[in-house]
A and B are shown apart, each in its own frame.
Chain A
Amino acid sequence: MENTPNLSPDLPTRDSAAAPVLAAAGEHAHPDQHWLWRYVLSQDHKVIAKQFLITGMFWALVGGSLSSLFRLQLGWPEGSMEWLKPLLGHWIEAGKLNPEFYLALVTMHGTIMVFFVLTAGLSGTFSNFLIPLQIGARDMASGFMNMLSYWFFFLSSVIMFSSLFIETGPAASGWTIYPPLSALPQAISGSGLGMTLWLVSMALFIVSQLLGSVNYISTVLNLRTRGMSMTKLPLTIWSFFLTAVLGTLSFPVLFAAVLLLVFDRSFGTSFFLSDIYIAGQALSNQGGSPVLFQHLFWFLGHPEVYIVIMPAMGIVSEVLATHARKPIFGYRAMIGSLLGISLLSFVVWGHHMFVTGMNPFLGSVFVFLTLMIAVPSAVKTFNWLATLWRGNIRFTTAMLFSIGFVSLFVAGGLTGIVLGNATLDIQMHNTYFVIAHFHLVMGSAAMFGMFAGIYHWFPKMFGRMLNERLGYVHFWFTFAGAYLTFIPMHYIGIAGFPRRYYSWTGFDMFSQFSDLNQFISVAAIFAFLAQFIFLFNFFHSIWRGRRATENPWRSNTLEWTTPVELGHGNWPGAVPAVYRWPYDYSKPGSDADFIPQHVPFSQTPASNMPYEQPAAE
C-alpha cells in the first residue's frame, strides 16, 4: 500500500500534468482495495478525519443527553424520575436520581464534551482533513501514526464509554478529578473502578493526542507545497498548528498527573494525600498536597481550553472571509494574536486556583497574566468585525454559525475579565457564573466553530451539499437555545449558586430562582433536540444531498482545487504551487471576486498591488 506522501509536490510539471493524471488515478484510487483498509484501518487523512468526526458526533450525542438528564434534576428537583428507571436502573431510587449518580453525570458530561468532542472531534476532524489539503500535501507526514492516533482515541473512547455502565458508576469527582475525592473509593463510589477506567482512558487519549499533534506539526512544517510560505498559510492552518503545539507541550503534564494519581490510588504513594481520616479510619498517607494536583491538572487544563477554541477561531476566520467576500482583516495581527494567546495560555493556569490556598502573591501574578490574554482576544474580535464591515455577505449556514461564534465568544469571553480578577473570583469561583462563562466561550462558541467547519467543508468531505434550509433552522434554534440557556445562568451565578449541587433547596439563600432553573432546563433540552435536525441533515445529505461542485463557495484555498471525487493523494495530477495569500477576495481590478492561491500574479496584471509587482515579473 502506498503511504509515503509525495515529498516533492511539483514533480510532474504543470505542462505535463495530463500524462500523470492517468498514472496517478491508477496509483491513488485503489479501486480494488479491501473495505477494511479503505474505511477502517485507513491511513488516508480524509478518512481518518471522517472517523474522528463521526466518533465526535457520537460523543456529542452522549454528552448532550447526559446534560439533559441532569438538567431534568435541576429544573424539577421535586419531580419524579421513575420513568427513567428503564434507562438508569438502580440509579433511580424511589423515583429520585441518586445524588452520586448526579455527580457522575456532570463529571462525564464535562469529560466527554471537553476531551472527546471539542478536542478530538474538533481538532481531530479538521486538522486531519484540512492540513494536507490546504497546504498542498498528498497526506500527513506519517499516515501510519495518524491511523494509530485515531485508534488510540477509539480505544480510549470504548473504555470511557464502558465506564458508564459499570455497577459502581463512572468517575464522579468532577471533570477536574481533584484528589483526594478521586483517589479514595471510600469517599465516593465513582472513585472505584469508574475512576480507574477514566484514568486508563485518559492516558490512551493523551497518546492519541500526541501522535496526532506531532504529525500535524511536522506536516505543516515540512510538507507545504511550492510557494506556500508560513505567511501564505490560511489562518485555519495557523490555528491547527499552534493548537498542536499547545497539545504537545501540555498533554504530557496531564499524563504525569494521571500517572501520579494512579500511584496514589493503587501503589500507596502520597503525592496528593495527607492527613486524611475517612470512613472511620485514619490513612497513613502524609506529606502529599492536593493543590499540587491542581497545578498539574490546570497546566494542561488551561491550554486545553485554547486547544478547544483556537481551531474554531481558525475555521471562523476562514469562513467569515470567504462568505463576506473580503480579505480577513489584519492577517498578520491574526497570526500574532494566535501566537500571543498560545504563549499566554501556558502562564495563566493559576486563575483556576485563586481560593485554593495558593499563595496570594502567586495569585496576583496570575491576575496580571490572565487579564493580559484579553488583549489578543479583543484584537481577534475587532478583526472579525472589521472583516464583516463593508463586505458582501452570503448567509450560508457556515457563515451563520461563524457570526454566531463571534457573538458567543464575545459574550462568554467578557465575563472572563471578571473571573480572572482574583478579588472578584473570591465570590464567583465555582458558581454558575463560571458555568455560564465557559459554556458560552468554550462550549457553545467552539461548538459553533465546529458546525461552521462541517457546513463549510461538507462538500469537500462527501462530495454533496448539506441542505441549507435545514441548516438555517438548525442554526437559529441552536443560537437562540444557547443564549436562552446560558444568559440566565449568569443571574443564578451572581446570586452565588454553587455548581455541582444536586439540589439547592436545603439553603435559604439558594431557595429562589427555581423558575429560572426550570427555564434553563427547557432551553437546554430544546437546544439539544435541535441537534437532531443537524443529524438528519448530515446523514441524509451524505447519500441524498445535492451534488457539490469543485469549488461551491468560490473560495481561494487549495482544497477547492481538488476534484469532487477525492482520491488518495488528493490531487490527481501535480500538486498546485502557491503564489499568493489565501484572502484575495474582491480585489480591485479583478473581474472575479476571488483569486485562488494557485493563480500566479503574472495572470492577474490588472489586480496586482504595487508591492506584488516584483512577484509578477
Chain B
Amino acid sequence: MIVLGIIVVGLLLVVLGLLFRLQILTAIFSGDSTRDIGPANRANAVLMLVFLVVGGGAFAWSFRRSYARMDVPVASVHGLAVDRMFWITMSIIGVAFVLTQVMLFWYAYKYQHRESRRAYFFSHNNKLEIVWTLIPAIVMAALVFAGWKEWGRITGPAPKDAVVLEVMGKQFNWLVRYPGRDLKLGVVNYRLIDAVNEWGFDLSDKAALDDFTAGEIHVPKGVPVLLKIRSRDVLHAVYLPQFRLQMYAVPGMPTRFWFTPNTTTEEMRAKLGNPKFNYELACNQVCGSGHFAMKMTVVVDEPDDYVAWFAQQQSFSSLNPEVRAGLPRPQPLAATPAAR
C-alpha cells in the first residue's frame, strides 16, 4: 500500500516536472520569457476581480448559512449588552472590510498595466490624509466610550444581595462550594487539601462548617450571582459562553465575576427546542492533557426551586465527620521540584 502510494506520488511529480519544463520551453519559443509584460498580467488582473466576487460571495453565503449555529444563545443580563455591542462592532468593521477590499481588488484590476498609460504621480495630499486619520479616530473613540461604559458596569462591585458561590479549578475538573446557611464562605487552605477534603476546608473556622459542595452549579434566575473563582494548581479559566462570562482561575489570587442569569435551563430548553440542553462550564486556559474535558453542568433555577435545592444540601463537615475529628492535621509540605 505504502509502496504503491510512493510510486503514485513519484509519477505525479515526474508529470508535474515535465509540464514545468514544457511550459518553460513554450515560453521561450513564444517569446514570453523575454517580453517584459505578457498576457499573464491581464490574467492576474482578471483573477483579482474573480477573487473579489467569488470570495465575497462565498463569504456572504457561508456566513448566512452558519449564522444560526454560531449565534450562542444569551442567558445573562449583561450578555444582552455584550451581544448588542459585538454585532454593532462587527457591522462597523464589516463596512470597513467590504469598502477596503472592494477598493483594493477593483484598483488592482482597473489599473493593471497598459502600454498607453502612465501612472499618476501622486505623492501626498494633506487634506485627504487628515480626513482618513480623523474618521477612524472618531469611530475608535466612540467604540472606546461604549466599551468603557459596559466594562465598568460588568466589572463593578457586585450588588450586596448577590448570591455567592465559589468555583475552584483543578487538573482536570471543577469543584463548587456554597456558603451554607450563614451565607459566608469559610476559610480554605491549600495545605489542608487531601483526597477527601478537596477544597482544603479549614474546619476550625466556624463559617466553613456549613459550607457545602455540589456536583453541579445551581444559580437562581433574575438574581445577581457573585461567582468567586480560585485554582489550586495551574491556571484555568471559567468560561460560560451562554452567560458571556469568562475569568481566569489563578492559584494564589482569587478572582471574581458577577452576573444575573435571565433564562432558566427549562426556559432555554423550550426556546431552543432541545430537551437535553444544559448550560456548561468549560475551561478556557490551557491546563494540561485533560484541558479539553473540564466540564461542569450549570443549572439556572427559578428562585423558588433554587431555595429548595439549597435547603436540601448537606454541609461538607456533616458529611465528612472524620475531617472535623482529625483537626488539626497540618500537611507535610512538599519541596519545590528543584529542591527535591
Contact = CB atoms under 8 A, between A and B. Distances in A.
Contact of A375 (B37, B117, B136, B244): B136
Contact of A180 (B63, B233, B280): B233
A395 interface: yes
Interface stretch (B82-90, B178-186, B201-209, B219-227): B82-90
A423 B280 CA distance: 21
B252 A501 contact: no
B98 to A, nearest CB: 10
A274 B252 contact: yes
B23 A276 contact: no
Contacts of B191: 277, 282
A414 B93 contact: yes
B120 A282 contact: no
Given A355-B246, A593-B118, A290 B70 contact: no
Contacts of B132: 378-379, 382
Given A277-B232, A586-B118, A427 B285 contact: no
Nearest to B134: A375
Interface stretch (B151-159, B306-314, B315-323): B151-159
A143 B150 CA distance: 54
A326 interface: yes
A422 interface: yes
Interface in B42-93: 43-45, 47-48, 51, 55, 59, 62-63, 66, 69-72, 81-82, 85-86, 89-90, 92-93
Interface residues of B, number: 119
A5 B66 CA distance: 60
Contact of A487 (B62, B112, B278, B336): B62
Contact of A403 (B104, B143, B235, B339): B104
A567 interface: no
Nearest to B42: A395
B123 A583 contact: yes
A383 B128 CA distance: 10
Nearest to B285: A430
B90 A418 contact: yes
A387 B334 CA distance: 64
B55 A184 contact: no
B324 interface: no
Contacts of B292: 99, 498, 500-504, 506
A379 B133 contact: yes
A524 B253 CA distance: 39
Interface in B241-280: 241-242, 244-248, 250-253, 255, 276-278, 280
A393 B66 CA distance: 37
A287 B253 CA distance: 9
Contacts of A456: none
Contact of A284 (B23, B242, B255, B336): B336
Given A174-B286, A392-B111, A429-B284, A326 B122 contact: yes
B325 interface: no
A608 interface: no
Nearest to A188: B288
From B45, B66, B96, B170, residue with most partner A Cβ within 10 Å: B66
Interface in A285-338: 285-291, 324-333
A363 B280 contact: no
A368 B140 CA distance: 9
Given A289-B253, A410-B97, A178 B66 contact: no
Given A276-B232, A276-B233, A325-B119, A507 B282 contact: yes
B89 A265 contact: no
Contacts of A500: 286, 291-292
Contact of B277 (A178, A403, A496, A508): A508
A412 B20 CA distance: 35
A386 B131 CA distance: 13
A158 interface: no
Contact of B190 (A276, A427, A512): A276
From B111, B140, B234, residue with most partner A Cβ within 10 Å: B234
Contact of A326 (B44, B121, B154, B190): B121
A53 interface: no
Contacts of B103: 385
Interface in A362-401: 363-364, 367-368, 371-372, 374-375, 378-379, 381-383, 385-386, 388-395, 400
B124 interface: yes
Contacts of A518: none
A348 to B, nearest CB: 13
Contacts of B255: 357
A412 B100 CA distance: 13
B69 A513 contact: yes
Contact of A427 (B105, B140, B246): B246
A456 B282 CA distance: 47
Nearest to B245: A426
A323 B37 CA distance: 12
Contacts of A392: 111, 113-114, 117-119
B70 A491 contact: yes
B107 A388 contact: yes
A487 B56 CA distance: 11
A266 interface: yes
A293 to B, nearest CB: 10
A531 interface: no
Nearest to A185: B337
Contact of A181 (B111, B286, B338): B286
A495 B190 CA distance: 36
Contacts of B23: 469
B334 A281 contact: yes
Nearest to A429: B246
B18 interface: no
A487 B113 contact: no
Given A274-B253, A357-B253, A498 B284 contact: yes
A355 to B, nearest CB: 5
A198 interface: no
Cβ-closest 9 pairs across A and B = A274-B252, A281-B334, A360-B155, A496-B241, A395-B44, A357-B255, A390-B120, A586-B119, A414-B93
Interface of B: 20, 23-24, 27, 33, 37, 40-41, 43-45, 47-48, 51, 55, 59, 62-63, 66, 69-72, 81-82, 85-86, 89-90, 92-93, 96-97, 100-101, 103-105, 107-108, 111-114, 117-125, 128-129, 132-133, 136-137, 140, 143-144, 147-148, 150-152, 154-155, 170-171, 190-191, 193, 195, 200, 232-235, 237, 239, 241-242, 244-248, 250-253, 255, 276-278, 280, 282-293, 295, 331, 333-339
11 contacts: A100-B289, A188-B288, A265-B338, A268-B336, A274-B252, A277-B170, A283-B335, A390-B122, A395-B41, A414-B97, A423-B81
Given A355-B247, A371-B144, A593-B118, 15 more contacts: A265-B337, A277-B190, A330-B129, A331-B124, A371-B147, A388-B104, A388-B108, A395-B40, A403-B48, A421-B147, A424-B82, A494-B70, A499-B284, A583-B123, A593-B119
